[in-house]
Structure 1
Amino acid sequence: MKKNLPLAILSGLLLWIAWPPTPYTTFLLFIGFVPMLLAVENIINDDKPKKGRRVFNVTFIGFFIWNSLSVYWVYNALKIVGELVAVPITLIPYSLGPLLMAAAFWLYYRLRLVAPRWVALIGLVCFWIGYEYLHQSWDLYFPWMTLGNGFAVAHQWIQWYEYTGVYGGTVWIWAANILAFLIYIGFREAQTKKNRMALSGALLIVIIAPIGYSLSVYSNYVEEVNPSNIVVAQPNIDPYEKDGTIPPALQVDILIHLSRQVAQPNTEFFIWPETAIPAPVYINEEQIGQNTFIKQAQFFLRKYPNGNLVTGAETYRLYNNRATPTAIPSPFGGDQFADFYSTALNLENGDRIQTYHKSRFVPGAESMPFGEALSFLKPVFEHLGGATGNYAPDKDAKVLYSQSGIGVDPVICYESIWGGYIARSVKKGAQFIAIITNDGWWENTSGKDQHLQYAKLRAIETRRWVCQSANTGISGFINQRGDVVKHTEWWTKTAIKQDINLNSELTFYVKHGDYIPQAGSILAGIGMIFLLGMRLRKKQTLTA
């Protein structure tokens, strides 16, 4: 433990230094796991007992350091739900991710006991990808630390994400780390010079070839001209005052004033942030056209014949019974039940109002993990005022359309880190991506910077412009190559405009989705079944 723990800590620190938004150190991702692999190799080869437990403990500590330092800002985002709830929820990104990462290494260790090193290393990649796919799919999801996200600050290197998505980056990082590890082991084990040279050549090819291809694509990529004028507003309203000291009517007035300052007669979309029309003024979706603030926004649009407004809002629906699993007793009195939504609305010059309900929530703060299994806890949270598990989702990704037929993918805050989910909207017809968010909860931390950087990955995967509107945070425009062509500053009240190019072509990734993690997860499942079978066979042999 004494000599292996420093190696694990070194891995954690290298991965943190390489992680966004830190520039110029991304290359450390190619060697960040090498000390961790060496620590595990030392444990495997020593003569001390309880090797599996030691592998798990050592790797967990390293990964806890990496995760905690990279997403330290999460606690700030959760303070709104109160200390009692924020502390345990914070453990999801701080501890649950490292636990799953350490489990992947433990499975690698178990596979090393029964298979050659090269087979076990391939298994490690599959186990890791399986963890990442699980961590974006189950109720405790937090895919913020998916390895492929690490190249967000070096988007010129990963133009090929249009074929693989971020999981191609995960495979790339692991391929480089494994080759670097094998080169080091080759020296330690006195392997032949020819073998070491072959591994060194392979490492150079693995790193340089994708970068070279990507730089070529980046340099030669030309967007098809199909312009649309977009305005993004950043009202800079303190999130802790949105539901309190600043009246909702004033908040809407601020957004209208900012939008008018930069709007053009041909502006086709105005993008306002998440909860721009805020609680406590929840909007009944059955009577949405009668809402005062909706009428206020529609009146603003009259000056822009082709104008549409994509805005965040807090909405609800009432039922006479508990019609959905997420419905709670109505706080408005009576015997009714209600679903509450974090909603993206598309308003236009007319009566039509389109809605999309946020579907990827912060576990615990916005949704009840494993709601069916833990349904017995609903009365507890209802007694607390519905502080946890309060939002209901849409069933799938959605596209909102303008009167002229332009399709926009409405992405609400946290949803922007699901590449496959956004790809589904693009496949359905979205020609650009609108991210509406409220990054002020994170305060002036790296969280807001990571969020904007990750949006660059969505632009490359789908070859769509991204228009991000943050209540407080960073708003901006990202082109189809992943360049941030314009952005606001932190804690600035402003609006910006940009002519973007709409795109209807579908990338390979949009067409085929997350095929890499799906295949990796299947292989990981086969590997775990194999290990279980070997364990059962060993027990039978011992009892025979």
Structure 2
Amino acid sequence: MKRLFVSILGSVLSALLLWLAFPPVDWGWLAWFALVPLMLALRSLSRPRQGCLIGLVWGACFYGMLLWWMQQFVHRWTGSFWLGLAAWGALVLSQTLFAGAFGWIYTLVNRLARGSALPVAWTAGLWVAIEWLRGAGAWGFLWGQLAVSQHRNLVPLQSVELLGVWGLSAWLIVVNASVAEAVAQRKMRPLLGAVELSVLLLLFGWWRLSLPSAPERLTALVVQPNVDTTRQWDETMQQQVKSSLSRALESAVREKVNMVLFPESLVPDATAYPFSDLIRQATARSVTVLIGTFDEEYGRSYNTVTAFLPDDGAETYRKQHLVPWGEYVPFRRWTPWVEHFGVVSADVSPGEQLVLLTPWRIGTPICFESTLPRISCEMVRQGARLLCVVTNDTWFGRSPAAEQHLAFCALRAVETRRWVLRSATTGISAVFDAQGRCLHRAELFTEAQLRADGVELRQERTLYVRIGDAAAVVVVLVLCVGWGVLSRMKSEI
């Protein structure tokens, strides 16, 4: 019982250290050893159910702290503190179950693999497999993904062009697991493999920071209108949006930029007066306008980005990965009562086709889509030369969620080696280059126009773009094969 209590304390300490590695504290360097107490705690246990308990404790603490903004988000949306608390609890529970699965499997496998070099490899593979499962499917959710803690550490960040976020997460786990093994064995030998791997990847990172420039470039204006879109659309709201739109488009024409980017769902219909007239005046002066709006077709509503071109043409991308209970209600037919709690009264429909906008072939992930690597990867695989993220983070208020959401853009930039322009309604708007450097950013709840000169239109494909999430799938397959080998080894002993 005493050992179990000490293990619980270790898991709580580990959760706290890893939480500090993410915004708002953002001490990313802590992630390189934050999980050591958790692994030592699991290593000391012999029963998988105890490992599951430790994983659940760790998950409840880590995700509970990291995702507390969900309570504030739902409270702001519905006006109910208790509904916000319930939503936060449900989200934390869903992620904590994955942590419990990690603890259960880790403890089970560790008994078979102890004394060999397998614990480190198994731990890294298992963690990546769990992360991949967290992000899979229509309900995929990767908030708190280990690799995102390195969004400001540019040298190790460059490694994500090889195997995406899965590779960087695996590297972090290899280091954590190696340190845990070294502490447990009181020997330096378990650190050798991690040191060799780290030296190679750091050298690769330094080399890739001097990425050759692309010859074709454009000048863009990223707009943060600072309009509170949580309010009901009325005459006052329309006037605010019109004024912001007018100021930004006048600046775009005056400064002779090639493109201006507006955030998600800024206007209900960009083809209607008075917005259409303002946009037409800009496109008549060779300015391409990208703006978040809504599209209606055959009785269905879509969350879209529309590009208005200088030749009077228009192209539209419809959001494909929708947010459950934010843009649609799962199983609405069987849960009509949820409408009384302020969730969306009508479902948004998912887009069925990936569309790249403008002659420059721009990929436009909308809001939550920027957190999922497979979407940006597929856009670049289809030929996107630039990524423009549009989002409406007004509901986050001043919570850490705004910074946490922004952090994903640095990884999308390096994974695909594309510049990423991000326009957010109230913040945080930003410009990232292909090395993941944040060149410009606007602060929360301020009106801003970020001029980005020399935005590169790149064409190369990284290894990750070529193979996509197959990197993580391979890890899962290796785990299955490895489990069979270990089981057979045990039966022969």
How does the TM-score come out when normalised to structure 2? 0.89
**Residues 1:236 and 2:190 aligned together:** no
Residue 147 of structure 1 is matched in structure 2 by 146
Alignment of structure 1 residues 321-400 onto 2, 5 Å? 338-369=299-330, 374=331, 376-377=333-334, 379-380=336-337, 387=344, 390-400=347-357
**Residues 1:167 and 2:166 aligned together:** yes
Aligned 8 A contact 2:123 2:177 in 1: no
Q: Which amino acid aligns with 1:390?
A: D
Instruction: Tell me the distance in 2 between the aligned counterparts of 1:244 and 1:120.
Output: 60
Instruction: Tell me the distance in 1 between the aligned counterparts of 2:462 and 2:123.
Output: 29
**Residues 1:53 and 2:49 aligned together:** yes
Residue 101 of structure 1 is matched in structure 2 by 99
Residue 69 of structure 1 is matched in structure 2 by 65
Larger radius of gyration: 1
The correspondence for 2:463, drawn from 492, 508, 518, is 508
Instruction: Tell me the distance in 1 between the aligned counterparts of 2:341 and 2:297.
Output: 21
Identity of aligned residues (%): 21
Cα-to-partner distance string for 1:100-139 (whole Å, 9 max, x where unaligned): 0221220122233445464455333333222211211123
Residue 521 of structure 1 is matched in structure 2 by 476
**Residues 1:3 and 2:6 aligned together:** yes
**Shift in Å, 1:458:** 1.0
- Which runs of no fewer than 5 residues in structure 1 stay unpaired? 45-50, 188-195, 319-337, 538-544
Structure 1 residues 56 and 534: alpha-carbon distance in aligned structure 2, compared to 1, 3 A threshold: farther
Residue 45 of structure 2 is matched in structure 1 by 43
Instruction: Tell me the distance in 2 between the aligned counterparts of 1:316 and 1:494.
Output: 30
Cα-to-partner distance string for 1:458-477 (whole Å, 9 max, x where unaligned): 11111111111111012121
Instruction: Tell me the distance in 2 between the aligned counterparts of 1:221 and 1:121.
Output: 32
**Shift in Å, 1:249:** 4.7
Residue 17 of structure 2 is matched in structure 1 by 14
**Residues 1:496 and 2:413 aligned together:** no
Instruction: Tell me the distance in 1 between the aligned counterparts of 2:391 and 2:250.
Output: 21
Structure 1 residues 266 and 257: alpha-carbon distance in aligned structure 2, compared to 1, 3 A threshold: closer
Q: Which amino acid aligns with 1:224?
A: A
SS at match of 1:7: helix
Instruction: Tell me the distance in 2 between the aligned counterparts of 1:239 and 1:531.
Output: 55
Aligned 8 A contact 2:67 2:88 in 1: no
Residue 241 of structure 2 is matched in structure 1 by 251
Aligned 8 A contact 2:166 2:472 in 1: yes
SS at match of 1:400: coil
Cα-to-partner distance string for 1:67-87 (whole Å, 9 max, x where unaligned): 222232223333354247644
SS at match of 2:258: strand
SS at match of 1:495: strand
Q: Which amino acid aligns with 1:197?
A: M
Q: Which amino acid aligns with 1:35?
A: P
Q: Which amino acid aligns with 2:476?
A: S
Instruction: Tell me the distance in 1 between the aligned counterparts of 2:77 and 2:444.
Output: 24
Residue 109 of structure 2 is matched in structure 1 by 111
**Shift in Å, 1:420:** 1.9
**Shift in Å, 1:528:** 7.2
Instruction: Tell me the distance in 2 between the aligned counterparts of 1:293 and 1:507.
Output: 43
Q: Which amino acid aligns with 1:506?
A: R
Instruction: Tell me the distance in 2 between the aligned counterparts of 1:342 and 1:155.
Output: 33
Output the aligned Cα RMSD: 2.8
Instruction: Tell me the distance in 2 between the aligned counterparts of 1:302 and 1:114.
Output: 66
Count residues with an aligned counterpart: 484
How does the TM-score come out when normalised to structure 1? 0.81
Instruction: Tell me the distance in 1 between the aligned counterparts of 2:366 and 2:393.
Output: 11
